[in-house]
Structure 1
């Protein structure tokens, strides 16, 4: 089949994906060729470009490293000469007698398949790019940034001479806004004298890179030097490259969709040059020895003065985090060492909260002035209330300077008291993970106890999941991302954090969603911390939400990491079904879990799926999630998987899943509820309630 390429007709996207794996009607993705700036294969989604191959250099597509390293295996690609209409055609002739297919899958991924005559089926080639490589997503890191999946520290990095456009978002691994220049180009300076007398801009050399998109071709330039000179003469030219088979390429717009490859392409021996202010180039900033000496003296003097001031005023150091706030009653305090010691003594955790057999020394986070928080929430105005729980209310606030916050205000008659307040401070202040809510500080004034968190624009998961009018906003892909994010957050708590924490109250209302719908586990007031070699503990005070509690915890007070696994299983089934476990009622079942087990055991698990996503979800992914959920809610803690195993199963394409056992505790609880509880009553234990059940 021939794919047309013509600058006159523009973009050609003749290939359309299926709607789903089993529905051949037109789907959300198309594939074709963009002839502008060098011919390249592009995949489009609803929001525009999703993936591109990089430009064609008469041998291979330069943005696909496995092609450039194995050119002989891909010599079947060719672009014909222009016909009478000026149209060219991309064709592919197999290098052997084998049968090949190039397809766009219903998930929007380009694949090359080879027919296996022995197995009588199409098999993907081993040379395909990793489908889980986020760097393959179009402009994943934003403008003026490169994506490098081999970088274990940070996958996205700004080009040298650039900085993150929004530092806070960048630190939270939201890279979509990209980067911006640190120093304006000399040729774009508004100062005419500086522009005429200053040193000219230069170019920084970069290799091992997928060239940016949206280039302009200058085929008349015959080498790298001529190409660079042409770019330097035009102040709007941001970068250039000379590629054999394509010739001179220049970029006058933003540099977008750049990817760093682990090794330089042997067959694609080209370099990329991007424009910088002369001071950003190597050797651009030469500081004399005298200047270095002066700087060292100034810095040393500053340090000595700072140390003296700290010693002189160590009893009371007050620092305002907002320079615009001159009123001393509207300030944010950080406490000095001595004050922090007093505060830590007052807020030391319960005796069972230990770190390496030593009592924790309390929180190390800013303490907010109560007046600041009251002003930020308009004196806890009802219109700013985000939600209400057993602990009290949560309010939206805005600090001076525009930073939005969420304030958790413990009420006087709350079941959650000082112990839970201290626990939450001690635990969450020391936890750092993208799927855990971030605690910004706390405030105590008399009976008022406040926790200040980062604001989550999409509120809690239950706000969307269980609302008939809003649940359609949660498509299957969003739900799967939320499931995987919660799993990774729990894995961090159970295994990767040095504190080893059991949450004990995992439920939909304790999962918050940020602007990008990333899940954040919140509310650590009921959490317990284990020592490094401790696996299980017992409590006489059972707390949490009945319906998410594991059998051994609800009836015996035993809790472990497997207690959270049970709660995760319940939450997973709620996300898939869009129904709340504690209020589920049907003609034959009073529990979502018993209903799910019946459908799963009768091979009718797809009936459990929320109708709002049933037609658009991936059946294989949904069935895998339901299977994992049934494994997590087994009665015996020994039989439940760990969160490490759950994460592995969720991320595996075709995992081997064991068969779960029937959750008899669920059926027993359903019978008890049916006999003693009204049809619409939700069973939620108070934070101080001790639950005892007898068989």
Structure 2
């Protein structure tokens, strides 16, 4: 019935969500508490913007006694997490208790004749006039009425939740410490066993009032460094301050669970719910109790080992798993009918709990040792060194570092685990069950009924929500050829939603050190590009590139929308990843993965740096670009024409692998659409196909032409435009002349000394010339190109003369004056990101 209980809980939560959407609350709330006023059991304070609410809440604990607490919670969700508790260790048991401001100016809770101070000890010598107010950040502040100085704030006294603007750390000058302290249980907000603190550059999680440090953030077995990469570290040793302040996003929060696990959540205005960005589970020793396995990446991290069940299901659901799991059936060891067996556990464990060591020669010996010892309940055999590890009587939580927990196949790691199970609990050949399965058909019928009701309820909520939804935060985009239609709700492509993370301007500004010149990577027609510092607060602290639209840019919302829509749906190793965007105030920004080696042109056309591009690297770059284009043309959800492929739009990662970038000029083609026409010519001369530059016609063959130009540039290390030889006006003509004279090898970059597979150089020149032929019909497709590159023994067609072979660079410039559009003549497109 545990599963049925969970489903009932989901139903109740869904019902609250529906009621929240259906009801419009027009009540007027107060945000301030002044002397002479009080907040009783049925009263609340609400922040000015309606984000947070303060009031009494109740919890039933031992003997069903109801306890009353004063807390702060996020108001936009019914029954949301309590983010701060005023009286977690002294709780009234009567509904007559109330919160007020005492004569001495402090906030107190009065329960009959008992006065409990919230803001500090009483002071007979400091009778000042004060008032309390709840801010939209969730911070309760006590203010001196005469001079408006903040005397106390809840942010200085956190409980188990870290909100934006709150602090973790220590002030050695005043002795003040800011730390998180878990609840005792999910239904008991009193002080729990786990403390999260930050000191001297490290994050610590400790239990038992700090006597046992569970981990610190340089422990390789714990991903806590990711958490502290989310915050903005501020170190002020001269003032004795050493602290970290959470500034990532105005609607994010960290929660230290009663189990010691950590949650990182962000509020989605679109879905009206908290979304898990990260959930750090299994971070404590014996996280799930004895005879359990904890899988950090699983939705339900804690599971009992096979043949075991939860000792107390109710406690587990409330976050207290210390009692662990117990056997369903007793072992039959030392009996005449011993049917105990050992079954493999397919888990990967990084750190092992305490065990007994034995040195053996083979797995069977380890099995025999454990089988003949009735107290031995689990053994592991290390194939690499013949080490036999035995666990007697109890097995603490095994932390499974793989992505799932299976039961019947021996894992592929060096360490093989075998669990002793009782005869009645032996798993079947195809069993993946965990513990006892329930009461069969009766439970199944209940579950089916509950699921049916849940689906009906959710459909009803969806219907009401969609009919009532008028506006929302975020951004909405629809792509329909060259359509300029856009709204402000969500990103959509052909009515399919694109989930793209939105970042606040404050978080992006902090990550780029307020867009400082030191973080600036370059600037193109779109605007400047910045690198987020290594201590930035975006996306787990990974370095990112922020592309910021300049107010002077010739581009704008259309190009940004187009790029966001297209690249957000594309997944390929040779395409740059879009990680999010910022649409706030007048700011429009895109956030990309950071490419440490910048763009290909930085190496290819630099007299010194191009020596770093050896022949093998150049071939790998050519192959990667070809694979990326093939994906765009043939294997992505939509057929996409890039329209601005060139060296400066090829980014290079740490290993010099290419990634195609800058999709601001890209276009989506229909399934049966082969060619399109436009009056708005965009791109870069030298890479444009003749039919596009002259007539505005573009197709997949336009990208093939650009690829051919790029291939010849990579081989030669020379730009196509501004190329002058005695008899050739550009690189295409020069390559054609060499090809006709059987001198294709002479096109190779002079900086390349040692070239393996020299016979392939003319082949690559041949492929390049096939791609830049005058007529689109004569050019190969990218599928053909990839096949030519991959099969170096197949014969190649003879190319026809390339386009523009007799066009000199200055004539190119004159040609441009007769065509309007976003065109770059010097190799820098309007949509260029110089580096990331």
Query: Which TM-score applies when normalising by structure 2?
Result: 0.45
Which residue is 2:735 aligned to?
596
Alignment of 1:421-440 (within 5 A): 421-440=560-579
1:366 maps to 501
The partner residue of 1:380 within 511, 515, 538 is: 515
Instruction: Map Cα deviations across residues 166-215 of structure 1 (whole Å, 9 max, x no partner).
Output: xx9xxxxxxxxxxxx9699x9xxxxxx99xx9999978599xxxxxxxxx
| 1:58 counterpart residue number | none
Q: 1:227 to 1:610 in 2, by over 3 A?
A: farther
Q: Indicate the structure with greater strand content.
A: 2
State the distance in 1 between where 2:807 and 2:760 align.
Answer: 30
Matching of residue 399 in structure 1 with residue 537 in structure 2: yes
CA distance in 1, matches of 2:366, 2:674: 65
Q: Is the 8 A contact 1:476 1:613 kept in 2?
A: yes
| 1:390 aligned residue | 525
Q: Does 2:715 correspond to 1:580?
A: no
- Tell me how far apart the structure 2 counterparts of residues 361 and 471 of structure 1 sit (CA, whole Å): 43
Picking from 344, 349, 352, the partner of 2:476 is 344
3-state SS of 1:379 partner: coil
CA contact (8 A) 2:366 2:379 kept: no
Aligned to 2:685: 546
Tell me whether 1:239 sits opposite 2:380 in the alignment: no
Q: Tell me the equivalent position of 1:475.
A: 614
Tell me whether 1:446 sits opposite 2:585 in the alignment: yes
1:264-295 Cα offsets, whole Å, 9 max, x none, are xxxxxxx9985136499967964124599799
Secondary structure of 1:435 counterpart:
coil
Offset at residue 447 of structure 1 (A):
2.9
Q: What is the deviation of 1:629? A: 0.6
Change (3 A) 1:230 1:662: farther
CA distance in 1, matches of 2:606, 2:798: 33
CA distance in 2, matches of 1:446, 1:286: 52
With over 3 angstroms needed to count, the CA separation of the structure-2 counterparts of 1:556 and 1:403, relative to structure 1, is same
Q: Distance in 1 between matches of 2:413 and 2:517?
A: 57
| CA-to-aligned-CA distance 1:623-660 (integer Å, 9 cap, x gap) | 22211111101111111100010011111131210010
- Taking the aligned partners of 1:231 and 1:582, their CA distance within structure 2 comes to 76
Superposition deviation, residue 570 in structure 1: 0.7
After superposition, the C-alpha distances for 1:598-621 in whole angstroms (9 at most, x for unaligned) are 222222222221233341332133
SS in 2 for 1:666: coil
Provide the C-alpha distance between the structure 1 equivalents of 2:663 and 2:343, rounded to a whole number of angstroms: 51
Give 1:676 deviation, angstroms: 10
The aligned length equals 442
| Preserved CA contact (<8 Å) 2:728 2:805 | no
Point out the structure with the larger helix share: 1
Deviation at 1:512, TM superposition (A): 1.3
| Correspondence for 2:748 | 609
Would the alpha carbon gap of residues 428 and 587 (structure 1) be closer, same or farther in structure 2, given more than 3 Å must change? Answer: same
Q: 1:517 aligns with which of 645, 656, 679?
A: 656
Kept in 2, the 8 Å contact 1:278–1:284? The answer is no
| 8 Å contact kept, 2:729–2:807 | no
Q: Mark the CA change 1:308 to 1:532 in structure 2 (over 3 Å): closer, same or farther.
A: closer
| 1:569 Cα offset (Å) | 0.4
Change (3 A) 1:368 1:684: same
Q: Distance in 2 between matches of 1:475 and 1:231?
A: 58
Residue matched to 2:553: 414
CA–CA separation in structure 1 for the residues paired with 2:711 and 2:700:
17
Q: Is the CA contact 1:205–1:272 (under 8 Å) kept in the aligned structure 2?
A: no
Alignment partner, residue 435 of structure 2: 287
- Per the alignment, do residues 648 and 313 of structure 1 end up closer, same or farther by CA in structure 2, a change over 3 Å counting? same
- SS class of match (1:548): coil
Correspondence 1:486-501 to 2 at 5 A: 486-501=625-640
- Which segments of 5 or more consecutive residues in structure 2 lack a partner in the other structure? 1-276, 278-293, 297-301, 306-322, 332-339, 347-359, 389-411, 487-492, 817-823, 832-836
Match of 1:561 among 700, 721, 726: 700
Change (3 A) 1:583 1:566: same
Structure 1 residues 581 and 227, CA, compared in 2 at 3 Å: closer, same or farther? farther
Extract unaligned runs of 5+ from structure 1. Answer: 1-167, 169-180, 187-192, 207-219, 241-248, 253-270, 316-335, 689-695
Residues 489, 306 of structure 1: alpha-carbon distance in 2 compared, 3 angstrom cutoff: farther
* Residues 32-86 of structure 1: CA deviation (Å, up to 9, x unaligned): xxxxxxxxxxxxxxxxxxxxxxxxxxxxxxxxxxxxxxxxxxxxxxxxxxxxxxx
Choose which of 611, 630, 640 in structure 1 pairs with 2:769. Answer: 630
Q: Distance in 1 between matches of 2:341 and 2:460?
A: 44
SS at match of 1:619: coil
Q: Is the 8 A contact 1:231 1:250 kept in 2?
A: no
Paired with 1:508 and 1:481, the residues of 2 have a C-alpha distance of: 14
Q: Any conservation in 2 of the 1:504–1:526 contact (CA below 8 Å)?
A: yes
Aligned partners of 1:435 and 1:488 also within 8 Å = yes
Q: Distance in 2 between matches of 1:601 and 1:276?
A: 68
* TM-score normalised to structure 1 length: 0.53
Match of 1:258 in 2: none
Once residues 735 and 471 of structure 2 are traced to their aligned partners in structure 1, the CA distance between those partners, rounded to angstroms, is: 54
RMSD after superposition: 5.1
Larger Rg: 2
1:15-36 per-residue CA deviation (whole Å, 9 max, x = no partner) reads xxxxxxxxxxxxxxxxxxxxxx
CA distance in 1 between counterparts of 2:561 and 2:413 reads 55
Query: CA–CA distance in 2 between the matches of 1:505 and 1:204?
Result: 55
Q: Confirm or deny: 8 A CA contact 2:732 2:804 kept in the other structure.
A: no
Change (3 A) 1:273 1:391: closer
Alignment check: 8 A CA contact 1:547 1:582 kept: yes
Match of 2:780 in 1: 641
Tell me the secondary structure at the aligned position of residue 451 of structure 1.
Answer: strand
